């Protein structure tokens, strides 16, 4: 299970790429939207879109070759409620989410992101405070944010950030847990992890009606940077 890491802070991935409006992406742009951040090769959404035709599904992925391959499969399957786009979530999504019609964003999924273990690399992690605030602002109360990873040391700070925002309420164990994925489709990575007998860590959150904190207040909840690492598996990582 080799991961192909991409440094999102590299210059090429810092270029602003305005994302198209929904009317340019989907046959029926009025449908509720499912946003999958880090859609990889796209197999999760390629399976989800036919099962949930009442939604549009958008995958955003930072590796262009994977986006192109996923789009080829989407066109082959004739899925008009699904699109894949290339982009850096933290560069491209905040402004785009702010332009969505109120109440349109129904579900955000962030599954098995690249595990940047070292604390000094935390700015490379996908779920940054500004992105979380943009997601929370776009989600109406009751709408969902779903996180999962096979690395407990990675999902722990994600949970900490979400809960520190005060904008979400965690769903109960009957809705989501180590033995229960609330979604009907497993990602390719999830299947590999479970087949290897390893645990998957999951959290499902619902947007509350609480106001959002300031970006500075949320950033104050980040763990302090130390000279150590937060996972020994990353001890040799660049």
Residue-range domains of the chain with CATH: 11-234 (3.40.50.150)
* pLDDT tens for each residue of 46-86: 999 999 999 999 999 999 999 999 999 999 999 999 999 99
Percent of the chain with pLDDT strictly greater than 70: 82
Assess whether 36 carries a catalytic annotation.
no
Active-site annotation holder among 114, 230, 234, 238: 114
User: Which backbone phi and psi does 110 adopt, to 5 degrees?
Assistant: -135, 105
SS3 content of the chain, % helix, strand, coil (to 5): 35, 20, 45
Q: What's the whole-model pTM score?
A: 0.86
Q: What is the mean pLDDT of the chain?
A: 87
Which ranges of the chain have pLDDT less than 70?
A: 1-16, 114-124, 223-238
Taking the CA of residue 43 as centre, how many other CA atoms within 13 Å lie in the half-sphere pointing to its CB? 7
Output the pLDDT for position 220.
87
């Amino acid at each position: 299970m080799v991961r192909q890491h991409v440094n999102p802070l590299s210059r090429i991935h810092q270029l602003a790429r305005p994302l198209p409006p929904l009317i340019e992406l989907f046959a029926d742009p009025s449908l509720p939207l499912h946003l999958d951040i880090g859609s990889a090769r796209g197999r999760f959404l390629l399976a989800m879109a036919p099962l949930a035709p009442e939604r549009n599904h958008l995958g955003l992925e930072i590796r262009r070759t994977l986006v192109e391959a996923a789009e080829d499969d989407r066109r082959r399957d004739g899925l008009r409620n699904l699109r894949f786009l290339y982009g850096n979530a933290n560069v491209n999504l905040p402004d785009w989410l702010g332009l969505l019609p109120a109440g349109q964003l129904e579900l955000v999924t962030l599954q098995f992101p690249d595990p940047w273990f070292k604390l000094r690399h935390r700015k490379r992690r996908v779920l940054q405070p500004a992105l979380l605030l943009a997601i929370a602002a776009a989600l109406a109360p009751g709408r969902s944010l779903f996180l999962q990873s096979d690395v407990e040391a990675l999902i722990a700070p994600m949970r900490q950030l979400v809960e520190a925002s005060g904008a979400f309420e965690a769903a109960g164990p009957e809705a989501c847990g180590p033995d229960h994925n609330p979604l009907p489709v497993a990602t390719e990575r999830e299947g590999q992890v479970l087949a290897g007998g390893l645990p998957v860590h999951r959290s499902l959150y619902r947007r509350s009606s609480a106001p959002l904190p300031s970006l500075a207040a949320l950033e104050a909840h980040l763990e302090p940077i130390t000279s150590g690492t937060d996972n020994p598996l990353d001890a040799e990582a660049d």
